[in-house]
Amino acid sequence: MAYLKLSREALLGIDKKEKFLFADILLICLLAITLSSVIIQTTWLSPVKVDGASMNVTLQDEDWLYMSKIKKPRVGDVVVFERSENVNYIKRIIALEGDTIRSKNGVIQIKKKGENVWKDFDDSHAYYSKMPYETIIENGREIKVGKGEMFVLGDNRHDSLDSRTIGLVSTDSILGIVPEWAIKYKEHYAPYLDFIEKVRNWLEELKKK
């Protein structure tokens, strides 16, 4: 007497072709999501984590942010740039190519490219922990920003390694610019990026075992 061996798919009434078709679609969707994520992070938006207190109180140590790789730098933008191999800084652009900057009694003044009028820089985002003003650069000294350069400062004037010490920075070193919305809504997407980081660290630990 012959026995008919039924597969699990047959017992459950699932067509094997349909099963594989569903798996294929699922795999394609996962690959598409992964590829899209890679493309977005490579060409448009990329996550970055703040390390240090130089941008207090605008940004805090270990804050998650998104930086745009297609946005052009403008005065006032928060920018991430490469200082050296594996060392990146996050600061605010104070002046760009052709601008001249000076400090008068601790107040930043800018003479824009092609203009002859000095104007006070909107420094409302700057953080002074002990005194209302601090000399940004030597009184009376004027610094003209050269071609392909920028003058940057940390919002925390008392605790920032920036153009006051390292000098003008090349705009070619820019890795990304942090949009205003990324700062405003950072608390909303931070848990998601924290979770991604934990998963990544977990996978790295598995590879070591």
pLDDT bracket for residue 136 (50, 70, 90)? low
Query: C-alpha angle 152/56/127, rounded to 5°?
Result: 75
Task: Return the number of other C-beta atoms located less than 10 Å from residue 151's C-beta.
Answer: 27
Is 127 found in the same domain as 53? yes
Residue 182 CA to residue 46 CA, distance in Å, equals 11
Is 73 found in the same domain as 12? no
The pLDDT, as a whole number, for residue 11 is 38
pLDDT bracket for residue 6 (50, 70, 90)? very low
Q: Are 94 and 77 in contact (CB under 8 A)?
A: no
Per-residue model confidence as pLDDT tens digits over 144-198 = 999 999 999 999 988 899 998 899 999 999 999 999 999 999 999 888 888 877 8
Q: What are the DSSP calls for 15-62, one per residue?
A: -HHHHHHHHHHHHHHHHHHHHHHHHHHHHTEEEEE--SSTTTTTS-TT
Higher-confidence residue of 86 and 2: namely 86
pLDDT bracket for residue 205 (50, 70, 90)? confident
- What is the tally of structural domains in the chain? 2
The pLDDT, as a whole number, for residue 157 is 86
Is 159 found in the same domain as 175? yes
Please list, in sequence order, all residues whose beta carbon lies within 8 angstroms of the beta carbon of residue 147, skipping any fewer than 6 positions away: 97
The pLDDT, as a whole number, for residue 199 is 74
Is 62 found in the same domain as 33? no
What are φ and ψ of residue 201, in 5° steps? -65, -40
The pLDDT, as a whole number, for residue 186 is 93
Q: Report, as an integer, the average pLDDT of 195-208.
A: 76
Is 20 found in the same domain as 102? no
Per-residue model confidence as pLDDT tens digits over 89-117 = 999 999 999 999 998 877 889 999 999 99
Q: What are the DSSP calls for 145-199, one per residue?
A: --TTEEEEE-SBTTS--SHHHH--EEGGGEEEEE-HHHHHTHHHHHHHHHHHHHH
The pLDDT, as a whole number, for residue 159 is 86
Range of the domain at 93: 46-203
Is 126 found in the same domain as 192? yes
pTM, two decimal places: 0.76
Residue 108 CA to residue 118 CA, distance in Å, equals 10
Q: Are 183 and 65 in contact (CB under 8 A)?
A: yes
The verdict on residue 208 lying in a domain is: no
Higher-confidence residue of 4 and 12: namely 4
Per-residue model confidence as pLDDT tens digits over 35-75 = 544 444 555 588 999 999 999 999 999 999 999 988 899 99
